[in-house]
């Protein structure tokens, strides 16, 4: 069983970007006031799994854009209003491997995760040292160290999130699969903006 976007975001035990899910234009406008501009609107519907592919993720910069996008999304489902995040896009996941059991995956993420295939993994739960080694194994590890004017990501926050997430299989007994993609990491913090949890039937 696949959990909804809000259930998945609410169940993960790591920092999550501020969001609200609403079902009317008035409520979208009210939510936006809390997050300011720019903010992110996402189409929430059980029919839509890959939101970007359906045109269901939009950064909006002003009220006109917000109204236009929200109206179009509300014709197809609910709207998630979310603060806009900055930083390096990472991927964190959990898979239930037939021989290893639950395994934590970490990699360079976002929409290019399938292109780079730059992922390291360890059996859950992991230690801080495991987390550090997993990051060292990534080909894209330089992205975390600060490039092109970006400051190094808050490594402690990232490692804490990895260790915490690796304990999720102990907390959700029927956890089959989890994707946090992306997790935004910057010099200040790490936050998940998208998550999908699959439970055993
Ligand atoms: P999906 O994976 O279903 O297409 P996501 O919620 O992961 O939808 O959004 C797709 C992409 O949009 C992300 O990889 C990221 O680049 C961007 N994005 C999503 N949410 C935010 C946000 N809150 N702040 C900044 N960029 C975002
Ligand atoms: Mg995603």
Residue 51 CA to ligand 1 center (angstroms) comes to 9
Counting residues of the chain whose pLDDT is more than 90, the rounded percentage is 91
Residue 39 CA, distance from chain mean position: 16
Please confirm whether the linkage preceding 182 is cis (ω < 30° from 0). yes
Ligand found nearest the CA of 56:
1
Q: What is the pLDDT of residue 49?
A: 87
**100 CA from centroid of ligand 1 (Å):** 30
Are 187 and 165 in contact, with CB atoms under 8 Å apart? no
* Ligand 1, atom 8, residue with closest C-alpha: 51
pLDDT in tens, 80-104: 999 999 999 999 999 999 999 999 9
pLDDT at site 10: 97
Give the mean pLDDT of 68-75: 98
C-alpha pair distances (Å), 77 with each of 21, 42, 70, 172 = 10, 10, 10, 28
21: helix, strand or coil: strand
Q: What is the DSSP letter of 1?
A: -
Give mean pLDDT, residues 109-125.
Answer: 86
Average pLDDT of every residue of the chain? 95
């Amino acid at each position: 069983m696949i959990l909804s976007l809000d259930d998945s975001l609410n169940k993960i035990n790591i920092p999550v970007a501020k969001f609200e899910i609403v079902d009317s234009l008035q409520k979208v406008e009210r939510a936006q006031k809390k997050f300011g501009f720019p903010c992110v609107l996402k189409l929430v519907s059980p029919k839509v799994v890959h939101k970007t592919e359906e045109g269901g993720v939009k950064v909006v910069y002003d009220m006109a854009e917000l109204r236009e996008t929200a109206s179009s999304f509300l014709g197809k489902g609910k709207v998630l209003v979310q603060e806009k995040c900055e930083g390096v896009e990472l991927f964190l996941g959990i898979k239930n491997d037939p021989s290893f059991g639950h395994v934590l995956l970490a990699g360079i993420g976002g929409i290019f995760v399938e292109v780079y295939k730059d992922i390291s993994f360890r059996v859950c739960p992991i230690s801080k040292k495991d987390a550090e080694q997993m990051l060292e194994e990534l080909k894209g590890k330089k992205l975390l160290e600060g490039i092109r004017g970006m400051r190094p990501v808050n490594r402690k926050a990232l490692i804490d999130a990895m260790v915490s997430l690796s304990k999720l299989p102990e907390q959700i007994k029927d956890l089959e699969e989890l994707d946090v993609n992306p997790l935004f990491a910057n010099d200040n913090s790490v936050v998940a903006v998208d998550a999908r949890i699959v439970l055993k039937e």
